[in-house]
């Protein structure tokens, strides 16, 4: 199933995030490399602690998930949709922006607003460094695989 916002077309799925994993990895990796150039960190986790608190090119959540959370906030609905910690901070920031955007563009649907919001630059990654480390290792493994394994038809 797809929906359109302007000229962009987006895939809608409850199980898959709307972004590709490599996009998150690439964004995190570029910030991580900038952090390494700036200072001396004794561990990779220490450098990732700094990196995850730097600005990100977007909010790493799907518009559908944001829409569900906005509904829960507005209706006082399902508590499972109201997370704790960094995810809560992420959704509070996005909800604050949602309210402002809704006032400015009342003719847009909730999913259109949520789609616009998740693609805005984020003040940070809203990830724990330990989770970012998992993203980092998975992304490096994927990059290694793509560099060293050519499709059979290119041999």
Looking at beta carbons, which pairs linking 15-23 to residues 24 or more positions away fall under 8 Å? 17/60, 17/61, 17/62, 18/62, 18/63, 18/64, 18/118, 19/58, 19/60, 19/62, 21/135, 21/138, 21/139, 21/142, 22/139, 22/142
Q: Is the pLDDT of residue 32 over 90?
A: yes
Residue 3's pLDDT is: 37
Residue 151's pLDDT is: 58
Contact (CB, 8 A) for 116 and 67: no
Q: Is the pLDDT of residue 6 over 60?
A: no
Question: CA nearest 91: which of 109, 108, 74, 112?
Answer: 74
Dist CA 27 CA 14 (whole Å): 23
Q: Is the pLDDT of residue 113 over 90?
A: yes
Task: Establish how many alpha carbons lie within 13 A of residue 100's alpha carbon, considering only the half-sphere containing its beta carbon.
Answer: 8
Kindly write down the DSSP assignment for every residue of 119-150, as one continuous string: TSPBSS----HHHHHHHHHHHHHHHHHHHH--
Residue 20's pLDDT is: 74
Kindly write down the DSSP assignment for every residue of 102-117, as one continuous string: HHH-TTS-HHHHHHHH
Instruction: Note the pLDDT tens digit of each residue in 38-95.
Output: 988 888 899 999 999 999 999 999 999 999 999 988 888 665 555 788 988 999 999 9
Q: Which two tokens stand for residue 76?
A: 């006082």
């Amino acid at each position: 199933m797809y929906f359109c916002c302007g000229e962009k077309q987006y895939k809608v799925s409850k199980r898959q995030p709307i972004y590709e994993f490599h996009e998150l990895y690439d964004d995190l990796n570029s910030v991580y490399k900038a952090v390494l150039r700036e200072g001396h960190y004794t561990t990779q986790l220490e450098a990732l602690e700094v990196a995850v608190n730097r600005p990100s090119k977007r909010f790493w959540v799907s518009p559908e998930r944001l829409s569900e959370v906005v509904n829960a906030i507005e209706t006082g609905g399902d508590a499972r949709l109201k997370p704790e910690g960094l995810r809560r901070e992420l959704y509070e920031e996005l909800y604050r922006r949602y309210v402002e955007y809704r006032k400015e563009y009342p003719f847009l649907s909730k999913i259109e607003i949520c789609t616009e919001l998740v693609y805005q630059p984020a003040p940070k990654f809203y990830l724990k460094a330990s989770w970012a480390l998992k993203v980092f290792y998975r992304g490096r493994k994927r990059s290694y695989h793509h560099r060293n394994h050519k499709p059979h038809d290119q041999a």
